[in-house]
Amino acid sequence: MTSYLWNPPAVPSLPVRGRTERLPVNRIFCVGRNYLAHALEMGGSPVDKATERAFYFTKSPQALVGSGSTVPYPPETQNYHHEMELVLVIGRPGFRVEAADAHELIYGYAAGLDMTRRDLQSAARQKGLPWDTAKDVEQGAVCSEVAPMPGVVLERGEIALEVNGQIRQKSDIGKLIWNIREIIADLSGYYHLQPGDLIYTGTPDGVGPVVAGDHLTGRVEGVGEIRLTIGPAQ
Ligand code: MN
């Protein structure tokens, strides 16, 4: 047995629908700019898939927090945003996977919130600086239970988010610029994908700020629901 100086941190994990075992989470990848209407609301231009490739950022697995949690409003931001997303859960390893074979890596899906310090992201974009403090926020990778759907490629389904009962985001995963097969094929060119890797697939339009006391309720049709409450700043 390996001995450590202190107890290692707990393995980040998610509940799985219909199972008592939890799913151990490995890495958290996020796709940037994957719905046209969101790319435009962020001040970008339409994405030309013929000449542009998807881009990614990561969040620490330690930033993972489960649905139903109350999280404090984070420090160092005055503009903390919700991004409602379909989360793809990898269940088998793959490297340089062809799009036609991508379904073999899929364990299932979840509903997620890619919480974002938008003010820091905007400043970083302008200066060409990294996004880490904007995106890798403590308790800022919110994820529902995992719905096991091995080998299933989701191609459509409503994705929606309400804040305090008011609709803020509503779209369809059929509008993903890079679809599930394309994301797996492309990302597996950079990384040896592993079981437990989560891929947040991007947010539709309608992102906006949250404040302390807000209750967020999101849903991905055929996948599940997610809830989050924003608590006071620490
Ligand atoms: Mn996002």
CA distance linking residue 58 with residue 141, whole number of Å: 10
Q: Classify residue 24: in a domain, yes or no.
A: yes
**Looking at the 3D structure of the chain, how many domains does it have?**
1
Answer yes or no: is 192 within a domain.
Answer: yes
- Say if 118 falls within a structural domain: yes
Answer whether residue 4 is part of any domain: no
Q: Look up the domain containing 154 and give its range.
A: 13-231
81 C-alpha to ligand 1 centroid (Å): 10
Task: Give the tens place of pLDDT for each residue, 138-191.
Answer: 999 999 999 999 999 999 999 999 999 999 999 999 999 999 999 999 999 999
List residues bridging with 112 in a β-sheet. Answer: 85, 143
CATH code for position 67: 3.90.850.10
197 located within any domain:
yes
110-148 residue pLDDT tens: 999 999 999 999 999 999 999 999 999 999 999 999 999
Assigned token pair, 50: 């013929």
CA–CA dist 7, 122 (Å, integer): 38
Measure 20 CA to ligand 1 centroid, in angstroms.
Answer: 29
**Tell me: the pLDDT tens digits for 8-29?**
999 999 999 999 999 999 999 9
H-helix or E-strand spanning residue 225: strand 224-231
Dist. CA 39 → ligand 1 center (Å):
11
Say how many Å lie between the CA of residue 95 and the centre of ligand 1. Answer: 24
- Name the token pair of 5: 């100086």
1 pLDDT above the threshold of 90: no
Q: How far is the CA of 85 from the centre of ligand 1 (A)?
A: 7
CA 131–ligand 1 middle distance (angstroms)? 12
Ligand 1 centroid–CA 117 distance in Å is: 11
Mean pLDDT (the chain, rounded):
97
Measuring CA to CA, how many Å separate 135 from each of 4, 94, 157, 188? 30, 26, 26, 22
- The answer as to whether 2 is a domain residue is no
Q: What digits encode the pLDDT tens for the residues 62-92?
A: 999 999 999 999 999 999 999 999 999 999 9
Residue 93 C-alpha to ligand 1 middle, in angstroms? 24
Across 67-210, where does the E strand assignment appear? Answer: 69-72, 80-82, 84-90, 106-114, 116-117, 141-143, 147-148, 158-163, 166-172, 198-200, 208-209
